[in-house]
Amino acid sequence: MTENTETRQQGKLHKLFDRNFLDYTSYVIRERAIPDIDDGLKPVQRRILQTLHNMDDGRFHKVANVVGETMKLHPHGDQSIFAALVNLANKGYLIERQGNFGNIFTGDQASAARYIECRLSPLARETLFNKDLTEFVDSYDGRMLEPVSLPAKLPMLLLLGAEGIAVGMATKIMPHNFCELLKCQIKHLRGKQFTLYPDFPRGGIVDASNYEHGNGRLRCRAKIEKVDDKTIAVTELPYNLTTQSLIDSVEKAAKAGKLKIVSINDYTAEDVEVEIKLPRGVHADETIDALYAFTDCEVSVSPNLVVIRENMPCIVQVEEVLRHNTDKLQQDLEKELNIERGRLLDKLHARRLEQIFIEERLYKEIEEQISYKAVISTVRQALFPFADELVRKVTKEDVERLLEIKIKRISRYDINKQQKEIQTLEKAIATIEKHLEDMVGFTIHYVEALLKKYGKKFPRRSRLEQFDEVNARAAALSNIKVAYHRESGFLGHKIKVENTKKDLELTCSEYDRILLIFKDGLYRVVNVADKVFIGSNLLWMGVVDNDLVFNVIYRSGLENLTYVKRFKTPKFIINRDYRLFPEHKRSIIQLLVVGDKDVRARVSFVPSARARYNRLEIEFDDYLIKGAAAKGKRVGNRTVRSVANLTGKPRTKPQTLPSLPGFAKTEGQ
């Protein structure tokens, strides 16, 4: 095989793969995963509802039979149909259930298809079907007809919500409240602005601050109630969460030490009830914050409103979808009125023809005719003078219908009854024509009627509320002991303290950050680690707190002078070194005390025969709090021998001394 031949064959193979992959991609997007904007349904849902409509006789049907009938339209397995039917039935709008269809709260599965039954709900019968408005195409095997789209009179896409993963795209459409959707449709018809927010069947609390009209981000919380100080109850769930998954997340957090519980029990039946018992020393209010911070009691949802519109996938907004559905509803209602008007006109035309034919005794004029053609011609000529009383021109079919009237009907003909029926038809036609003149008003009346009839069945379940994010560090349990072993120079929660005088120890949570201050003026902030080497020069360590005030006395090796400074916890980048004063081999922190009030220290100078005072008491309250990099105030011009911490000790009676810049009053020696 030559190189050119091989290249050509590879090119043909690539084209074959590209073409087949595009066909597959198009099929998955339009025929499986992404719902249609017109009726809001995926193909499998549409086929299930059409099958239920075909089978509908008012009674319940075995789900197994419904699945089997749907397979005549759906080219996939029975399990996908069964799962879609159960999911659609559990939404509670279109399908009535009988038997165990599972539990959306606990995640329990439905019974086998042969044990449970279903039928169309009254809402579905009233709003989903009209064969006059439905376009049908051949099913996959050509034996049956299936609808391209159902003439839904409800905004099904936003009512039901949808999730699907296609090739290269996905959709995640939030469900909305029935009453709110219909009220917003009325607002749109009246030319008013409206805003829509999701409503979830499991309830919960929804923060829609970052919700962007069907896209963006939602934060959903479980509804947690404090029964008493040692008992918490979860009564509503976040979006798409079950009690089992919530319990698993709570137990996982408890095992990780993020919260403490004694037990957790699920008592959910028709309503959600998950009870959490707390141990001694743990309070409900603190645990509720921890549940939101560390478990699935709070979840983040990222909606993505992708739909099929005019056979193409596109991203739209919630309000755009509702406006589209409402405009389509108005168009469908207008089509229905025109179709009904046409039927009534045909019926009125037939009744008037019959009335004229019998009351004017036109049938007598055909007695002498010897051919069928002559009979038809005679009747048409006899009806010609009455053309102004008829709805339209007389056709051959009209004449044939008159000739089929039996003598029994003519003999029993009731003029008054016929006239009353004609008046009823005329009145009905006039009513329809009045509606056609004001389609907006008629559509509003239709939506209001649906709202009045079904609205009470579908109250809002989720509560809209704006809530602050829980601070994970604040909610975390301080159950980790971090130790510093001076001799080895290691720090971490796996280090053990041997000498409490030399070594350091603190209790913190896994989310805390630890500030380390070294004797030479270096400071660094680190995360809680298992074991990390920091050297043997550590002076102080503590959990980062922006409100801490540090009182420092240090010796500058460059000048051999001592300075006093106060500062709050400085800004930092994790694991980066900073300095409180310039680096020098003789620079050292002589005293470090944390506190914002009543911090005192005694500075002892190197004795001098000519000096009047050899020690000085410093009140840190007399110094301003500045940045960590500030140089501070100088403590005299003499060399400091030692510094003692007097915080918490009784004050000594000071002597009157001359004022010196940056000095507190001192005690003589």
Distance CA 365, CA 399 (A): 13
Q: Where do the H-state alpha helices sit in 161-277?
A: 178-189, 243-255
What's 316-357 look like in SS3?
Answer: CCHHHHHHHHHHHHHHHHHHHHHHHHHHHHHHHHHHHHHHHH
Distance CA 296, CA 171 (A): 22
Residues 403, 383 contacting (CB under 8 angstroms)? no
| Torsion angle of the four alpha carbons 489, 492, 497, 498, in this order, in degrees rounded to the nearest 10 | -40
The residue whose two tokens read 């039979």 is: 65
Residue 654 CB contacts under 8 Å (≥ 6 apart), including other chains:
617, 665, 666, 667
Sign of the C-alpha dihedral, residues 71, 75, 81, 85?
negative
What Rg do the C-alpha atoms of the chain give, in angstroms? Answer: 42
For 174, the token pair is 């939030």
For 33, the token pair is 């995963």
Residues 160, 176 contacting (CB under 8 angstroms)? no
Q: How many CB atoms lie within 10 A of CB 86?
A: 20
Q: Which residue type sits at 122?
A: P
Distance CA 166, CA 306 (A): 11
Sign of the C-alpha dihedral, residues 446, 449, 455, 457?
negative
Q: How many CB atoms lie within 10 A of CB 277?
A: 13
Residues 594, 544 contacting (CB under 8 angstroms)? no
Report DSSP state, residue 650.
P
253 to each of 29, 105, 481, 654, how far by Cα in Å? 39, 21, 19, 57
Query: Which phi and psi angles does 267 have, rounded to 5°?
Result: -110, 25
In degrees, rounded to 5, the angle at the alpha carbon of residue 33 between the alpha carbons of residues 29 and 36 is 80
In terms of Cα–Cα distance, which of 255, 251, 252, 253 is closest to 264?
Answer: 251
89 to each of 55, 95, 524, how far by Cα in Å? 16, 5, 59
What DSSP string describes 572-596? Answer: --TT--EESS---TT-EEEEEEE-S
Distance CA 535, CA 182 (A): 69
Residue 72 CB contacts under 8 Å (≥ 6 apart), including other chains:
51, 139, 141, 143, 144
| Torsion angle of the four alpha carbons 509, 515, 519, 520, in this order, in degrees rounded to the nearest 10 | 150
What DSSP string describes 495-546? Answer: ---S-TTTSEEEEE-TT-EEEEEETTSEEEEEE--S-EE--S-EEEEEE--T
For 630, the token pair is 């500030």
Of the candidates 115, 140, 267, 372, the residue annotated as catalytic is 115
Let me know if 115 is a catalytic residue: yes
Q: What is the maximal distance between C-alpha atoms in the chain?
A: 160
Q: Catalytic positions, please?
A: 115
